[in-house]
Structure 1
Amino acid sequence: MTDAAYIAERYIAVWNEADPLRRNALLIEGWSEDAAYVDPLMRGDGRDQISALIGAVHQRFPGFRFTLDGRVDAYGDRIRFTWALGPQSEPDMIKGTDFAVIEQGRLKSVTGFLDKVPPNA
């Protein structure tokens, strides 16, 4: 399997990319064409829907940035990592843990869990 830490870093880069054209290029590079994303708040099937979800997060939380929070774990074709999201003044306002399946070095599916969400988010 491709380096799990690298895959997680590229995943965070996609979520931080506000420009739809650059985000789509990153999705093509790192996600399979039929990739799926699901968490308690949203679901996307395929790169276009996933890009739209990410765009919606940028609209709802302008200026917020994702960061990896801790180490990336891997086993076989699966990785697990924790992330934080927030503005510069509170970079870990929201936290989550994602589990991903990797196929041929690309993300095939991601299941996200929200570990910390403030009441007003």
Structure 2
Amino acid sequence: MDHALQTTWETYVASWKATTPAEKQALFAASLDENCTYTDPLGVASGWEALAQTMQGFHQQIPGAYFVTERFASHHNVCMAQWKMHDGSGAVMGEGVSFGQYNGQGKLVAMTGFYDTP
């Protein structure tokens, strides 16, 4: 397992919890390619601005929610992360798995999440 890829993944995960646009942009700069694509069962976001809007919508639905990686594996610039989603009080609300693809500089270019939808 590549610990640099895991560090990048956890920086990206932290961006979901970031509360200010400046904090989110700094985490994006440290972990994401500017042309990254995020895909989950509810939609697709291409680029930092669209991803930030997706995250904002997520927090409007579930204020204070965040993700905790339970298991991480990587090889050949791809990763798999099993995670749990917690609400603002820390209670587990759901779980899923995400896959990431990294560019040659170790930044995420694609993040794909899988989870049950209501």
Q: TM bucket by the smaller chain?
A: 0.7 to 0.9
Amino acid at match of 1:36: T
1:20, 1:55 within 8 Å by CA — same for their partners in 2? Answer: no
The alignment status of 1:95 with 2:95, answered yes or no, reads yes
Amino acid at match of 2:73: D
Q: Summarize deviations over 1:32-91 as a string: whole Å, max 9, x none.
A: 01000000012100111011101111111002221112x21001010110111122352x
Normalized against structure 2, the TM-score is what?
0.88
Q: Return structure 1 stretches of 4+ with deviation > 3 angstroms.
A: none
Give the corresponding residue for 1:43: 44
- Percent identity of equivalent pairs: 26
Instruction: Please tell me whether the aligned partners of residues 11 and 30 of structure 2 are also in contact (alpha carbons under 8 angstroms).
Output: no
Aligned partners of 1:101 and 1:107 also within 8 Å: yes
What is the number of equivalent residue pairs in this alignment?
115
SS of equivalent to 2:54: helix
Within 2, Cα distance between the matches of 1:77 and 1:59? 33
Instruction: Find the aligned partners of 1:49 and 1:98 in 2 and give their Cα distance.
Output: 18
- Cα distance in 2 between the residues matched to 1:89 and 1:112: 21
Unaligned runs of 5+ in 2: none
Q: Could you list the runs of 5+ residues in structure 1 that have no partner in the other structure?
A: none
- For 2:9, the aligned partner's letter is A
SS in 1 for 2:110: strand
Question: RMSD of the alignment, in Å?
Answer: 1.6
Superposed displacement of residue 31, structure 1? 0.5
